[in-house]
Amino acid sequence: MNVEQARASLASTLAVDIAAGAPMTVDVPPARWDEIARYAKETIGCRFFNFLTAVDWKEQGLEVLARVDNLDEGVSLMLRTKLGPGVNNCASLTPIYRGANWMERECFDMFGIHFDNHPDLRRILLEDGWEGHPLLKSYAVDTPHPPYR
Amino acid sequence: MPSWLLLLLVPFVVLNVVIGMVTYVTLLERKFAARMQSRIGPYRVGPHGLLQPIADALKLMMKEDIVPDAADRTVYNLAPIVFLIPCMLIFATIPFAPGLGVGDVNIGILFFLAVSAMEIVGLFMAGWGSNNKYALLSAMRAVNQIISYDLPFIFAALIPVLLTGSLKLGDIAAAQQGSLLKWFILYPVIGQLAFVMFIVSTLAAENRVPFDILEAESELVAGFRVEYSGMKFALIQLGEYAHMIGSSFLGALLFLGAWSGPGPEYLGPLWFLLKAMFVFLLVTWIRWSFVRIRVDQILALSWKALLPATLMLLISTAVVVVWRTGGF
Amino acid sequence: MLDVDNKTRVEMDWSGPERLQMNMGPQHPSAHGVFRAILGLQGETVVDVDAVIGYLHRCHEKLSETLTYAQYPSIASKTDYVAAMTSEFAYVLAAEEIGKFEVPKRAQYLRVIVAELQRIASHLLWLGTWCMDMGGALGGGATIFLYCIREREDILDLFESLVGARLLYGFFQVGGTRYDIPDGWAEQCRTTIDRIDSRVNEYEQMLEDNAFFLARTQGVGTVSRELAEDVGIAGPLLRGSGVNFDLRKNVPYSSYGDFDFTVPVETAGDCYARYKVRMAEFRQASTIVRQALDALPSGPISSRPALKSVAQIRIPKGEAYARVEGPRGEVGSYIVSDGSAKPYRMKWRGASFSNLAILPHIIPGHKVADVVAIMGSVDPVFGEVDR
């Protein structure tokens, strides 16, 4: 599916307007997160899993982003979902994209987002006993961590 | 001089010469490898780094001797000695010149092969006694490898025996005297093939790259000797190099005419040494230009290629020898 | 086995299939940094692997939120310290995309030159260390390693005369580059890459004529196209698995469209295919450098004034994801800007992080010796994995 077809089909599936521009940025409701990802992989052909991350919008809550590509057609999709204030649960993409495994573990590590159905949700970069999730805006840079400081 | 004194003196001299040679052969290898790799090599200790081996030995002697808590102490402590003794014993039957050697017995080559295979006991003890997973894996690999490669090694070494008709190393050497063409490496076809197979199995028996899977520092850190330090490590190192030099001497004796060479007779040992060092550098050259192969590939190479090939060669040599002596 | 705290022997459980848990790392000669692979072994065969990373974590993403757009590029080079230029490149590209800054043509060409030189330097280090993994520090691998290091030194010398630093550069700034090439640099660069080209041919002969090298690499660590895309590995690994995708060609940035080069693709997906791709990239990279040096336009090297204060660069509200083709694949930087002098959020898409995630999928079933060969062929840099 090329870029224009992908835009049209996603817009009709999600019933929203998708702005032109690369990458194509798609706002997805949290409830349809994994469904749209599966749609992107199987229908649009975005089989290349690029990355998954999150942004902490303070009082507006967390936002999860995933970028997938269709390398043959040059379609890049940036999927975004706003989890909403106080929510830190999200559907996992690992059953769809195996590459999401480590990325979601990193998100769990850094933002404390719990990915449902993730097979192996552990901290990945920080040690197991670490307190807090450093990339949250509420986490001060100079938070003390015995025995390190 | 009473004969019992001579009996003690000769092995003493040989042992010390071997140990001295080991230290300097390490320097030779390091210099040679450095030249291959566009480096200079040891240069700081003494002129052109000539005192480097002594500094190394001193350092190893002064290092703290660490025994891991979990080690099986008896086995762990005994292993370097068990490893070293066969490596030193192989020099017992090598005649360095006609009549010059510890004991040129009539089953010399058999003794050499049997004793050099004994080092595996020490090696396995080291791997087991260290109680380290790397060491254990390495010891298992070592047993695999020695079992696989001793057969081709023995078969390749038996070819000169067939050509001479004697198991006595002195006889084998004596049969190659007189002219260059008498060297067994120049024996048509059989000599060259046997030499190549001998070198390949020597590499494996000495655990050198590309067959150094039991040392394999990129996988098993240092293999069976990972837990050894100080003097015990030095003993293992000494044993390895002694074994290597012993095999080089054997190669020079079996294929390169031992002490045959131009000049007066007393230069014989020098020629022998030079030929042994040639074999040693050949092995070193291979070592520093190949990558290591995998354990299953090593076993496949031995059982599927080298063993049948040496066996075939041995049989054809026997046929040739019988034919030439008019046996048919 | 030993219970460390109680110093007592614990009987090994021999019931069921015999398994040995072996730790490879975090300190291990072939860990390429600090990486711990917990291998479950049955004999010599690896049956399962758990990769433990994070030993080199410095929280670059949090750090970048506290540093301005002028400060961070030189810190960015510390993520992938073997190819420092590419990380800086990705960061400044993202900032320029949000700020809509023009980059002068000369600066674009200079960026291409250093990025390609960096690719050669990084691939040289990869070739050396990978061969050392397979050949051992006391074997033929060390020979290749020392040859490669010798050539890499020449490139580091070039960088030193350009920037003044040999490993971490700070060459890029938002809007252009920080330094122009000194007199005679172009000539020196040409002779260096000519020499490296001829030497690379020698290494290729030395390795490919070597049956043992082929035995160790062919058919080892095969990654199918489907798995490669699913996990999101990039760069030479992706191209080694038959995907013809190179950002320099498919999504040209920084004037890559001006240069004539080909993208090597291999379909086998094993270690040898990845090796072939990288060996071909040596030649392509030097072609690009030569073309860029020949066509180097004159003009300013930055659209913005030289840096005087750390908070000098402000970019408007917005977000952008910029990616460059690094030696290890797609290095991306996702920046969310809130209009201040510092990013609100910065995400590194480290190529090594994604590439390393392939290991648990391909290692089981191989021998212990293959683990290091596969890991070396992935070419991870742990500064980038852990960030």
Report the pLDDT value the prediction gives residue C218, as an integer from 0 to 100. 86
Q: Answer whether the bond into residue B210 is a cis peptide, omega within 30°.
A: yes
A61-73 confidence digits (pLDDT tens):
888 888 888 888 8
Question: Taking 60 as the threshold, does the pLDDT of residue A22 lie above it?
Answer: yes
CB contact under 8 A, B293 and C216: yes
Taking each helix axis from N to C end, the angle separating B230-255 and B119-129, rounded to the nearest 10 degrees, works out to 150
Q: At C137, is the pLDDT very low, low, confident or very high (cuts 50, 70, 90)?
A: low
C2: nearest CA partner in chain B: B70
Question: Taking 60 as the threshold, does the pLDDT of residue A119 lie above it?
Answer: yes
Question: Taking 60 as the threshold, does the pLDDT of residue C13 lie above it?
Answer: no
Report the pLDDT value the prediction gives residue B123, as an integer from 0 to 100. 87
Whether A56 has its CB under 8 Å from any CB of chain C: the answer is yes
> What is the extent of the structural domain holding A31?
3-87
Q: What is the mean pLDDT of residues C132-149?
A: 80
| C-alpha dist (Å) from residue A128 to A104, B70, B121, B162, C366 | 16, 28, 44, 68, 29
Inside any domain, residue A142: no
| Greatest mean pLDDT among A74-78, B104-108, C161-165 | C161-165
C273-304 confidence digits (pLDDT tens):
999 999 999 899 999 999 988 988 888 888 77
The torsion angles phi and psi of C18, rounded to 5 degrees, stand at -75, 125
- Three-state secondary structure string covering C134-182: HHCCCCHHHHHHHHHHHHHHHHHHHHHHHHCCCCCCCCEECCEECCCCC
Task: State which amino acid sits at residue C96.
Answer: E
Inside any domain, residue A137: no
The torsion angles phi and psi of B96, rounded to 5 degrees, stand at -85, -15
Q: Which residue, among C227, C238, C347, C358, would best test binding to A if mutated, counting the most A CBs under 10 Å from its CB? A: C347
How crowded is the C-beta side of B124, counted as CA atoms within 13 Å?
A: 13
Whether A140 has its CB under 8 Å from any CB of chain C: the answer is no
| C-alpha dist (Å) from residue A26 to A13, A40, A117, B84, C330 | 11, 11, 23, 71, 22
Question: Taking 60 as the threshold, does the pLDDT of residue C3 lie above it?
Answer: no
The SS3 call for residue B69 is coil
Instruction: Give the start-end residues of each E strand in chain C.
Output: 2-3, 8-9, 20-24, 36-42, 45-52, 172-173, 176-177, 318-326, 329-337, 343-349
- Distance, in Å, from the CA atom of A90 to the CA atom of C272, rounded to the nearest integer, reads 40
| C-alpha dist (Å) from residue C142 to B210, B291, C153, C272 | 12, 9, 16, 19
Inside any domain, residue A50: yes
**Parallel/antiparallel/unpaired status of strands C176-177 and C45-52:** unpaired
CATH code, domain carrying A11: 3.30.460.80
Question: Taking 80 as the threshold, does the pLDDT of residue C107 lie above it?
Answer: yes
- Pair of tokens at residue B105: 């017995």
Q: Which residue, among C59, C223, C230, C356, would best test binding to A if mutated, counting the most A CBs under 10 Å from its CB? A: C230
- Pair of tokens at residue A36: 């749209």
In this structure, are residues C32 and C375 in contact, taking their beta carbons and an 8 Å threshold? yes
**Parallel/antiparallel/unpaired status of strands C45-52 and A48-56:** unpaired
User: Which residues in chain B show pLDDT less than 70?
Assistant: 1-2, 327-328
Q: What is the mean pLDDT of residues A115-140?
A: 84
CB contact under 8 A, C216 and B294: yes
The torsion angles phi and psi of C257, rounded to 5 degrees, stand at -65, -20
The torsion angles phi and psi of C23, rounded to 5 degrees, stand at -90, 125
- Distance, in Å, from the CA atom of C328 to the CA atom of C346, rounded to the nearest integer, reads 20
The torsion angles phi and psi of B249, rounded to 5 degrees, stand at -60, -40
Report the pLDDT value the prediction gives residue B1, as an integer from 0 to 100. 61
Nearest-by-Cβ selection for C357 from A47, A53, A99: A99
Domain C52-386 has CATH 1.10.645.10: yes
Whether C213 has its CB under 8 Å from any CB of chain B: the answer is yes
Q: What is the mean pLDDT of residues C359-366?
A: 87
The torsion angles phi and psi of C3, rounded to 5 degrees, stand at -85, 110
Question: Taking 80 as the threshold, does the pLDDT of residue C311 lie above it?
Answer: no
Report the pLDDT value the prediction gives residue C8, as an integer from 0 to 100. 45
C188-207 confidence digits (pLDDT tens):
999 999 999 988 888 888 88
Task: State which amino acid sits at residue C27.
Answer: Q
Report the pLDDT value the prediction gives residue B68, as an integer from 0 to 100. 84
Which is higher by pLDDT, C2 or B49? B49
CB neighbours (10 Å) of residue C60?
23
In this structure, are residues B192 and B185 in contact, taking their beta carbons and an 8 Å threshold? yes
Composition of chain C by helix, strand, coil, percent to 5: 45, 15, 40
Report the pLDDT value the prediction gives residue A72, as an integer from 0 to 100. 81
Inside any domain, residue A8: yes
Largest CA distance in chain B: 66
Q: Report DSSP state, residue A40.
A: I
- Pair of tokens at residue B91: 């020099």
How crowded is the C-beta side of C106, counted as CA atoms within 13 Å?
A: 12
- Distance, in Å, from the CA atom of C216 to the CA atom of B298, rounded to the nearest integer, reads 11
C324-356 confidence digits (pLDDT tens):
988 988 888 999 888 888 888 888 888 888 888
Write out chain A residues lying below 8 Å of C348, CB-based: none
Inside any domain, residue A129: no
Residue C320: which of A83, A97, A78, B208 has the closest Cα? A78
B32: nearest CA partner in chain C: C143
Write out chain A residues lying below 8 Å of C321, CB-based: 23, 67, 78
CB contact under 8 A, C216 and B292: yes
- Distance, in Å, from the CA atom of B250 to the CA atom of B159, rounded to the nearest integer, reads 13
Inside any domain, residue A23: yes
**Parallel/antiparallel/unpaired status of strands C2-3 and A89-91:** unpaired
Whether C316 has its CB under 8 Å from any CB of chain B: the answer is no
- Torsion over CA of B233, B238, B243 and B247, rounded to 10 degrees? 140
Q: Which residues make Cβ contacts (< 8 Å) with residue C197, sequence separation at least 6?
A: C282, C283, C286
Q: Which residues make Cβ contacts (< 8 Å) with residue B141, sequence separation at least 6?
A: B213, B214, B216, B223, B295, C44
User: Which contiguous run of DSSP H or E holds residue A57?
Assistant: none
Q: Each residue of C320-330: b (16+ CB within 10 Å) or e? A: bbbbbbbbbbb
Q: How many domains does chain A have?
A: 1
The SS3 call for residue C267 is coil
Residue B255: which of B166, B163, B191 has the closest Cα? B191
CB contact under 8 A, B292 and C44: no
Report the pLDDT value the prediction gives residue C1, as an integer from 0 to 100. 42
- Torsion over CA of B127, B131, B132 and B138, rounded to 10 degrees? 20
In this structure, are residues C163 and C301 in contact, taking their beta carbons and an 8 Å threshold? no
Report the pLDDT value the prediction gives residue C191, as an integer from 0 to 100. 92
